[in-house]
């Protein structure tokens, strides 16, 4: 969804020098173990989910607050976690909000209900103030802010005048329609510091009989042009979630499967070629959600039909020196201390220090919390436990509800 190169490049370089032995470089085998920090929740809330981690270690996402709305549903608000403190970023006057990205300048991006809760708009939070970024169709429309880069450029999507949704960019407060590949809908998910954006677009109005909608293709928007990255390795559709400063793009494509018709496979797009990143040996699904500029890719494996896919195991890939070369998917649960009390079910972002933000399932409560994995030397932690069984059936109802909200907004579904 973007690159991590920001204005603090010199500081980041120094951090790399210190961490080089621990996190390695492209072409080296992974030896890193990770400590895990539970970031908690807002107020007396039970669940929280992260979406982003900056190079300086700020984490943003959304958390239950402990309050409920008029229908009895837990209210969740956007948060920024910094130096051990989780801050409530509030809303645009309605009940709910969530943060999806941030930059090194302290700006936070996301979506929030407007007053009256009739719709939600993309917001930009800066120095304690939340600004409504608006929509393509006025106040009654819906918009979502996906990510922001170091120059303050924003990518997302918005309701359009024909009733569909289009990928959009905000620059200097002005919204611009990024268009589609010819189909009705497109979504913007990732942006790097070069202003390149990625996401997905339908190419026509032909309904796919399996998913019930026109198929999506991953897209690269660059200098005013829109580029189709293909139909996926099996021609069944794909979507891109993130892009780095080398124009490497990650996401997922649909692949045939004898059990559930189609499953998700993580991909890396590089120099015009899409590469299958594979799935764990005992799984049938995977997706790549984010990457950094140091050759690390994070995501998850899960279960189910590609359109109803649910994550249950956080994954890590390491890129090699050759184009498209990557390690087999590594279960992050094997790289944390044994008996931690958590199962890592989804890795959503990784910064250039190698810190990873994950959705961590708590065995003791059935809830999910935002958590930060910090690289340690390979000898500083005892060997971690083996891969754990999936836990989807053990999640609390509110945890499943929050995960579903995160996935729907991540994939352009209200």
pLDDT of 54-112, one tens digit each? 999 999 999 999 999 999 999 999 999 999 999 999 999 999 999 999 999 999 999 99
For residue 284, is pLDDT > 70?
A: yes
* Any domain includes 1: no
* CA angle (152, 189, 47) in 5-degree steps: 95
Q: What is the mean pLDDT of residues 265-269?
A: 97
Per-residue pLDDT band at 384 (split at 50, 70, 90): very low
- How confident is the model at residue 323, as a pLDDT? 76
- How confident is the model at residue 414, as a pLDDT? 59
- The whole-angstrom separation of Cα 320 and Cα 72 is 49
C-alpha distances in Å from residue 31, one per residue of 6, 123, 340, 376: 27, 39, 19, 9
* Any domain includes 192: yes
Read off the CATH number of the domain in which 370 is found: 2.130.10.10
Residue-wise pLDDT for 298-345, tens only, equals: 999 988 888 788 888 999 999 987 777 889 999 999 999 988 999 999
Q: Can you tell me whether residue 9 is helix, strand or coil?
A: helix
C-alpha distances in Å from residue 89, one per residue of 16, 240, 343: 31, 28, 28
More confident residue, 181 or 325: 181
Q: What is the mean pLDDT of residues 219-223?
A: 97
- How confident is the model at residue 158, as a pLDDT? 98
- The whole-angstrom separation of Cα 414 and Cα 400 is 16
For residue 173, is pLDDT > 90?
A: no
Q: What is the mean pLDDT of residues 235-244?
A: 97
* Any domain includes 3: no
What is the tally of structural domains in the chain? 1
Sequence-distant (6+) residues with CB within 8 A of 174 are none
Instruction: Answer yes or no: are the C-beta atoms of 107 and 145 closer than 8 Å.
Output: no
Q: What is the mean pLDDT of residues 274-283?
A: 93
More confident residue, 198 or 405: 198
What residues are paired with 64 via a beta bridge? Answer: 76
- Host domain of residue 238: 9-410
**Burial grade of 312 (CB within 10 A; 0-12, 13-18, 19 or more):** buried
Q: What is the mean pLDDT of residues 242-259?
A: 95
Q: Can you tell me whether residue 409 is helix, strand or coil?
A: helix
* Any domain includes 4: no
Kindly state the tokens that stand for 20.
């080089």
pTM over 0.95: no
- How confident is the model at residue 269, as a pLDDT? 97
* Any domain includes 318: yes
- How confident is the model at residue 48, as a pLDDT? 98
For residue 193, is pLDDT > 90?
A: yes
Q: How far is CA 408 from the centre of its chain?
A: 12
Per-residue pLDDT band at 216 (split at 50, 70, 90): very high
Q: What is the mean pLDDT of residues 219-242?
A: 96
User: DSSP labels for 279-334?
Assistant: --TT-S--EEEEE-TTSEEEEEEEES-GGG-EEEEEEEEEB-SSTT-BPPPEEGGG
More confident residue, 169 or 377: 169
* Any domain includes 2: no
For residue 388, is pLDDT > 70?
A: no
For residue 138, is pLDDT > 90?
A: yes
User: DSSP labels for 90-155?
Assistant: --BEEEEEEEEEE-TTS-EEEEEEETTSS-EEEEEEETTEEEE---SS-TTS-EEEEEE-TTS-EE
Percentage of the residues of the chain whose pLDDT score is greater than 90:
75
* Any domain includes 199: yes
Kindly state the tokens that stand for 192.
């790097």
Q: How far is CA 133 from the centre of its chain?
A: 21
* Any domain includes 104: yes
DSSP code for 157: E
Instruction: Answer yes or no: are the C-beta atoms of 63 and 86 closer than 8 Å.
Output: yes
Residue-wise pLDDT for 67-83, tens only, equals: 999 999 999 999 999 99
For residue 380, is pLDDT > 60?
A: no
The β-bridge relationship of strands 330-331 and 342-350 is unpaired
Q: What is the mean pLDDT of residues 103-130?
A: 97
- The whole-angstrom separation of Cα 406 and Cα 335 is 25
Helix (H) or strand (E) holding 398: helix 397-410
Per-residue pLDDT band at 152 (split at 50, 70, 90): very high
- How confident is the model at residue 391, as a pLDDT? 53
Mean pLDDT of the chain: 88
């Amino acid at each position: 969804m973007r690159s991590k190169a920001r204005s603090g490049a010199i500081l980041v370089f120094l951090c790399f020098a210190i961490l080089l032995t621990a996190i390695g470089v492209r072409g080296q085998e992974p030896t890193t173990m990770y400590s895990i920090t539970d970031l908690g929740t807002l107020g007396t809330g039970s669940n929280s989910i992260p979406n982003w981690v900056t190079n300086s270690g700020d984490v943003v996402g959304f958390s239950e607050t402990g309050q409920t709305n008029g229908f009895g549903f837990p209210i969740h608000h956007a948060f920024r976690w910094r130096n051990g403190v989780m801050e409530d970023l509030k809303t645009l006057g309605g009940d709910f909000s969530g943060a999806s990205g941030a930059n090194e300048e302290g700006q936070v991006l996301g979506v929030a209900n407007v007053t009256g809760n009739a719709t939600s708009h993309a917001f930009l939070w800066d120095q304690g103030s939340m600004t409504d970024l608006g929509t393509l169709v006025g106040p009654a429309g819906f918009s979502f802010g996906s990510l922001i880069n170091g120059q303050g450029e924003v990518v997302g999507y918005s309701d359009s005048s024909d009733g569909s949704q289009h990928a959009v960019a905000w620059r200097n407060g002005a919204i611009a329609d990024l268009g589609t590949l010819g189909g009705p809908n497109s979504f913007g998910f990732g942006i790097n510091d070069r202003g390149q954006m990625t996401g997905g677009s339908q190419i026509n109005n032909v309904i796919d009989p399996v998913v019930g909608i026109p198929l999506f293709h991953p897209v690269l928007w660059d200098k005013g042009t829109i580029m189709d990255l293909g139909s996926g390795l099996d021609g069944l559709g794909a979507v891109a979630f993130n892009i780095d400063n080398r124009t490497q793009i990650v996401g997922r494509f649909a692949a045939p499967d004898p059990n559930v018709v189609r499953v998700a496979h993580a991909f890396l797009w590089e120099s015009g070629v899409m590469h299958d990143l594979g799935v764990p040996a005992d799984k049938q699904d995977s997706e790549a959600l984010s990457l950094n500029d140091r050759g690390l890719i994070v995501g998850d494996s899960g279960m189910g039909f590609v359109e109803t896919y649910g994550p249950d195991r956080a994954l890590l890939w390491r890129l090699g020196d050759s184009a498209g070369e990557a390690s087999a998917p590594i279960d992050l649960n094997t790289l944390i201390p044994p008996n931690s009390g958590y199962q890592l079910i989804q890795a959503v972002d990784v910064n250039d220090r190698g810190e990873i933000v994950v959705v961590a399932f708590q065995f003791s409560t059935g809830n999910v919390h935002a958590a930060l994995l910090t690289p340690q030397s390979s000898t500083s932690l005892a060997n971690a436990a083996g891969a754990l069984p999936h836990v989807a059936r053990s999640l609390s109802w509110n945890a499943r509800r929050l995960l579903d909200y995160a996935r729907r907004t991540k994939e352009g579904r209200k």
